[in-house]
Amino acid sequence: MALICLLSGSLPLLFLHQLLLFSAFRPVSGVGINYGTLGNNLPSPRKVAQLLQSTLLDKVKIYDTNPEILEAFSNTAIDLTVAVENHHVANISADVSAADEWLATRVIPFIPATSIVAICVGNEYLTTNSGDGHLDPNALVHAMQNLHSVLVTRGLDRIIKVTTPHSMAVLASSFPPSASTFAPNLVEPMNSIIGFLADTGAPFMINAYPYFAYRENPTAVDLEYTLLGNATGVHDPKGYIYNNMLDAQIDAIRSAINALGFGNRTIEITVSESGWPSKGAPGDGDGAATPDNAKKYNTRLIERAQSNDSFLISFSSWFLFFP
């Protein structure tokens, strides 16, 4: 707990952007950080790496393949998850040679000195609007397959996993959790993606934010329920009782996966982003976005991630977001 207080209270603004509870696709929970680089007066990657080495954090996730960052984390014993930005997905999906070129120029030069353990292909790709409609879901599937194929050829598929983070918008509905399914227009790509994850042993990533559900309907949604507090239980028709919305959201994802026929396959779920803002946008009248609520949610999330007996389903990773 003291470690988390240090992170949220005394690190540069860079680290207030995102903090993750991450197990790098292993069954043990750990604490790490999502390293974003949008901001002013940010510390250098070298200073960031040195700072993290002085803590218990040994997992870092970035949103691209910034070579300066990858170099800075060489020989640090810190595991990195890198990413293919959304605008590069189509090119990598074109053919295996494009994927091989991406890997050869952006990842291979830095390993094994830098421990790269996963590649996220896009971010919320299936629900991101490109301006003239949503991005092509088939491109995402093909890009993931092509990257994995290249990793297999290079003998790296057991070291580096390929996955993609989704938003909760991939669901047709998240309540009741036991009846949740994926949106009809996403069933086909989800079948392909989940089959790929099951075959390769990579986790299903979901960005889950109870805060947004409360903000959209504060009169109908209990604040403590979204803050992971001991709220009055919300009942699912199948008899499950949820004392917080995050558990319900994650079970909704599990139900949607099972509804596609993958109930007998081993597919871990990673909470790739979650958190609560400490301040709302100017003039939006959001009274729930306060430092106190952010502290409550983020602290409780960490406690839950470290307490296996409190979960309804198994998770491989937890990410904590600090806007």
Q: What average pLDDT does this structure show over 68-92? A: 95
Annotated catalytic residue, options 71, 216, 268, 273? 273
- Is 60 exceeded by the pLDDT of residue 30? no
User: In angstroms, how far is CA 79 from the centroid of its own chain?
Assistant: 15
Q: What is the pLDDT of residue 285?
A: 54
The pLDDT confidence band at residue 119, using thresholds 50, 70 and 90, is very high
Say how many CA atoms lie within 13 Å of 266 toward its Cβ: 7
- Is 80 exceeded by the pLDDT of residue 31? no
**Structural contact between residues 61 and 22, judged by C-beta atoms closer than 8 angstroms:** yes
Residue 170 CB contacts under 8 Å (≥ 6 apart), including other chains: 126, 127, 182, 183, 186, 190, 256
Q: What is the pLDDT of residue 60?
A: 85
Strands (E), the chain: 18-21, 31-35, 59-62, 79-84, 115-121, 161-163, 165-167, 171-173, 181-182, 204-207, 234-235, 241-242, 269-273, 315-321
Sheet bearing 115-121, strands edge to edge? 161-163, 115-121, 79-84, 59-62, 31-35, 18-21, 315-321, 269-273, 204-207, 165-167
Give the residue among 84, 125, 77, 76 at the shortest CA–CA distance from 106: 84
* pLDDT tens digits, 125-146: 999 986 656 689 999 999 999 9
Q: What is the pLDDT of residue 304?
A: 77
- Is 70 exceeded by the pLDDT of residue 45? yes
Stretch among 20-34, 114-128, 284-298 having the lowest mean pLDDT: 20-34
The pLDDT confidence band at residue 61, using thresholds 50, 70 and 90, is confident
Q: What is the pLDDT of residue 277?
A: 85
124 tagged catalytic: yes
* pLDDT tens digits, 193-231: 999 999 999 989 998 899 999 988 888 888 999 999 866
Q: What is the pLDDT of residue 58?
A: 78
Amino acid at 52: L
Q: What is the pLDDT of residue 307?
A: 64
Q: How far apart are CA 49 and CA 115, in angstroms?
A: 13
Largest distance between two CA atoms of the chain: 54
Q: What is the pLDDT of residue 284?
A: 59
Q: What is the pLDDT of residue 306?
A: 67
**Percentage, residues of the chain above pLDDT 70:** 80
Q: What average pLDDT does this structure show over 67-81? A: 94
224 tagged catalytic: no
- Is 90 exceeded by the pLDDT of residue 36? no
Q: What average pLDDT does this structure show over 164-176? A: 93
Amino acid at 35: Y
Q: What is the pLDDT of residue 286?
A: 72
Q: What is the pLDDT of residue 153?
A: 97
Whole-model pTM: value is 0.84
Annotated catalytic residue, options 68, 124, 188, 224? 124
The pLDDT confidence band at residue 283, using thresholds 50, 70 and 90, is low
Stretch among 48-62, 163-177, 272-286 having the lowest mean pLDDT: 272-286
- Is 60 exceeded by the pLDDT of residue 22? no
- Is 80 exceeded by the pLDDT of residue 3? no
